[in-house]
Homo-oligomer: A and B are copies of this chain.
Amino acid sequence: MNSGETKAASKTILVVEDDPRIQKALYRLFTAEGYGISNAPDGSAGLESFRAMTPDAVILDLMLPGVSGRELCRTFKTASPDTPVVVLSAVAEVADKVLLLELGADDYVTKPFSPRELLARVQAAIRRSDRSRPDTHVVSFGDVAVDFPKMEVKRSGAVVTLTAHEFKLLKFFLDNAERVLSREELLNDVWGYNFYPSTRTVDNQILKLRQKLEVDPTNPKHFRTVHGAGYKFVF
């Protein structure tokens, strides 16, 4: 199964890159981790996408046809200083250490880059930007409070222990509240695409969440069953 890492849960990344091979590689790299990817082959498309989708992070190649990558980076940072921008650049470009400061980029990776490093840097940038929005850290429903960075759940003050998997499932429910989620969808998004346990597994994990988080697990208020369809979380 997958590494047990918490998935990105619908974070979207805008990739501004003209080389289709790199585009493709980045697409594979990030979708495998659960991120959504939007591609823009040049500056003007990048700008357009940026405005249309408000991505959670931007990966920007400095060497672009048309609008200069540097110009673009400044524009992004002016329009939305909170959105992290990670720059891809050839070594020679970054040799000038001042450049990055002026651009306002959050981080950079020099080509040829290690996919793992890029992934790590983008994730770190997203984490940093998330941390400055503290309101997203804690979510509550009923007498339950969920603290994501601490991976901790409390019921009227008392800590409830959840396993990593239960936590991941809970997060998915919270991220998709009010929507009916089929077992398939849950298996794909929480368990991962290359892993197919029986659907009983899902019921089992739901059961555990109910036992741990519902006032009356037999009459669930939040983790509702939608007979013949799946489950639905309501606040």
A binding-site residues for B, Cβ under 8 Å: 1-6, 19, 21-22, 25-26, 28-29, 81-82, 84, 94-102, 104-108, 111-117, 120-121, 124-125, 128-129, 132-135, 149-151, 163-165, 167, 178-180, 182, 184-185, 188-189, 193-194, 196, 226-229, 232
In the docked arrangement, what's the CA distance between A106 and B117, Å? 7
Q: Which 7 A-B pairs have the closest CB atoms?
A: A164-B228, A97-B112, A25-B101, A106-B116, A151-B180, A107-B114, A21-B98
A127 to chain B, nearest CB (A): 8
In whole Å, how far is A147's beta carbon from the nearest beta carbon of chain B?
9
A contact face: mostly helix, strand, loop, or mixed: mixed
User: Given A82-B3, A229-B164, A114 and B100 touching (CB < 8 A)?
Assistant: yes
Of B106, B116, B125, B182, which contacts A84 at CB under 8 A? B116
